[in-house]
Structure 1
Amino acid sequence: MIEVRWAVPTSVERVFAVLADGWSYAGWVVGAAHIREVDAGWPGTGTRIHHSVGAWPVAVKDVTTVLDVDPPRMLELEARLWPLGAARIRFELKATSDGTEVTMLEEAIKGPLSLLPQQAQTLYLTPRNRETLRRLGDLAARKGPA
């Protein structure tokens, strides 16, 4: 799994509140372009975000499903992007003396992307995931009181 960590100067609850807002997904996930629908009960296990990835006119419609959740400490997702495959993504939140440490773990689990060597996945995913966590942190830091 590819692991990236990011320090966010706000509470675990505020960071998790952004994760729990399925409509905000396109605002912080690099590559997500449009949210079409968020299942009632998100981020409960089995609920989904229906989204598009990429730029029009080649945007791909797909879904991200909650595999596991432990509010406000952890959210694990399966993000699909067919025909390229799917990835398991886990966000772990840990309170620190000056805010929250967010750990993002990602692993390609299905499709052609899962066939890439770990080193190639790391080269692509590490900068993308750092930017994703930076955006997540910016949104969380701007949120109102937890």
Structure 2
Amino acid sequence: MAVRHVWVNRKPARVWGVLGDAEQYQKWVVGTSETHEAEGQWPEVGTTLRYEIGVGPLTVHGHTVVRICEPPERLELEASAGRLGTARIAIRVSPWGEGSLITMDEHPLRGAVARVHTAPVDVLLQLRHRLMLARLRDVVEAGRSEADRKAGRHV
């Protein structure tokens, strides 16, 4: 199971503002492009987000379904990459000092990815999560925090 975390210099409400915005998804989810909300209102439970995963001509059509949504602290998703299978992705946002601690936990559920889930696969997931959480931090921190707006500070 791949579990990683990152600290961001923004409060949980700002983090949730990014997690709860379907248009931001492809900015921080590694390998995702052409994101389209297919059903529901992101991130309500049952909402489906469709996208392409891959590089160049090697693409797979995938979708993610929201399984649990408890703003501003918990979002659990089931991501499907077609024949490759599905994975559970749990994101937790906790207040931590002046910012937030984001923890991501992902593990395969079904399909080929679940059958070949080994220690080397976990290493690849860890690398993917490191990049994904860095991107998420960058997207979250790119916007001004509520405290910055109230104080008139620029970030």
Whether the TM-score (by the shorter chain) exceeds 0.5 is yes
Distance (whole Å) between structure 2 residues aligned to residue 103 and residue 124 of structure 1: 17
Larger CA deviation: 65-74 vs 27-36: 27-36
| Native 8 Å contact 2:45 2:67 kept in 1 | yes
The alignment status of 1:127 with 2:116, answered yes or no, reads no
Query: Hey, which bits of structure 1, 4+ residues long, moved more than 4 A?
Result: none
Q: Is the 1:85–1:113 Cα contact (8 Å) retained in structure 2?
A: yes
Equivalent position of 1:10 in the other structure: 10
Aligned to 1:143: 143
**Corresponding residue pairs, total:** 146
Q: The residue matched to 1:59 in structure 2 has which SS?
A: strand
Corresponding residue for residue 113 of structure 1: 113
Query: Is the 8 Å Cα contact of residues 2 and 105 (structure 1) preserved in structure 2?
Result: yes
Q: CA deviation at 1:129?
A: 0.5
User: Which residue number in structure 2 is paired with residue 31 of structure 1?
Assistant: 31
Q: CA deviation at 1:145?
A: 4.0
Is 1:45 the counterpart of 2:45? The answer is: yes
Aligned partner of 1:89 in structure 2 is 89
The one-letter amino acid of 1:95's match is P
- Unaligned 5+ residue runs, structure 2? 147-155
User: Cα distance 1:37–1:117, how it changes in 2: closer, same or farther (>3 A)?
Assistant: closer
- Residue 83 of structure 2 aligns to a residue in which SS? coil
1:23·1:35 contact (CA, 8 Å) conserved in 2?
yes
State the one-letter code of the partner of 1:87: A
Unmatched runs of 5 consecutive residues or more in structure 1: none
Aligned-residue sequence identity (percent) comes to 32
Letter aligned with residue 8 of structure 2: V
More displaced 10-residue stretch of structure 1: 119-128 or 71-80: 119-128
1:76-107 superposed Cα distances (whole Å, 9 cap, x missing partner) = 00011011111000000000113000000000
- Larger RCO of the pair (alpha carbons < 8 Å, separation 6+): 1
Highest Rg: 1 or 2?
2
- What displacement does 1:58 show? 2.8
| Inter-CA distance 105–134: structure 2 relative to 1 (3 Å threshold) | same
* 1:140 Cα deviation after fit: 0.6
Find out whether 1:21 has 2:21 as its counterpart.
Answer: yes
Question: Would the aligned equivalents of 1:36 and 1:52 in 2 still touch at CA under 8 Å?
Answer: no
